[in-house]
Amino acid sequence: MTVKQEAIPAPSLLPAYAVAAVAVLIWGATPAATKVAVTGLDPMVAGILRTVLAAVVVVPAAMALRLPLPGSRTEWTLLAYSALGGFVGFTLLFSIGVNLTSAAHAALINASIPIFTGLFGAIAEKRVPGRLWMGGVAISFAGVSVLIGFRAEADTGAGATVLGDLFCMGATLCAAFGYVSGSRLAGRIGTFSVTFWGVGLAGLVQLPILVMLSHGLDWQAVPHAAWSGVLYLAVGSTVIAYIAWYWALARGGAVRLGPTQFAMPVISLTLAAWMFSETLTPVILGAALAIVGGIAITRRG
């Protein structure tokens, strides 16, 4: 007589997907929150303030959790690169760029970060990517080029400028460089250590600049909406979203949960149309399909 054994159910991935969705939703709203912040604050002040406030949150947490610090000159260099790229260059350039362009343009250029991260990663590892991966990169680049190079009347009316798009592109390059540096260090001291200490280092570096820029600034005159935008960026985008994303990846894996990030441009474009009455022109929609489609192809390559 054969006894039929009951299959042991695999752990549910629903919590991992739910938490990953929270992170993607928060990050998807980042361009809109930045747009709100820079309407009432100088873009440089807004960009620095989000990192400094985030540092106030994460540094005590890192100390309480006894997160390891870099232990060698090489590791400190990687942490500095990660901080300067992801939490100094990106935040400053993106805040300036969003002030000079539309939320829709900023969101789509921001969506191309994985492409540049892959390129910098390939350079750092001294490897030649496959043809499929390069094809996906070419498609995404075409989408970004069309977005920046072709101006529709609706884009101009929404405040989209080439200069603003180029600042956002610079921010994207900084973020990708920071991610690659941070990923190389994460294998040694852990992802949370890289993120929290990177934010802390970036906040410390920028604090004197914030003091100089805010000299004579009437903080009480800053609109509540701008404060809400900065706090969202500092606590939501920089702290909560990172913690949620890493928690989800630890339980669901990057392969399963990575594709959820494709929803970010959709969320960003929806908010741009809803909050700022920006028109999603055929150029914007076509560029979105090219950028997201290209990224999807690179994941297969």
Q: How many other CB atoms are found less than 10 A from the CB of residue 10? A: 6
Query: What tens digit of pLDDT does each residue of 92-133 get?
Result: 999 999 999 999 999 999 999 988 888 888 888 888 778 888
Query: What tens digit of pLDDT does each residue of 252-291 get?
Result: 877 678 788 888 999 999 999 999 988 888 889 999 999 9
Judge whether 135 and 46 are in contact, CB under 8 Å: no
d(CA 34, CA 223): 14
Instruction: Report the chain's mean pLDDT, rounded to a whole number.
Output: 88
**pLDDT at position 3:** 41
Record the pTM.
0.88
Nearest to 226 by CA among 47, 2, 37: 37
Q: What's the pLDDT band for 2 if we cut at 50, 70, 90?
A: very low
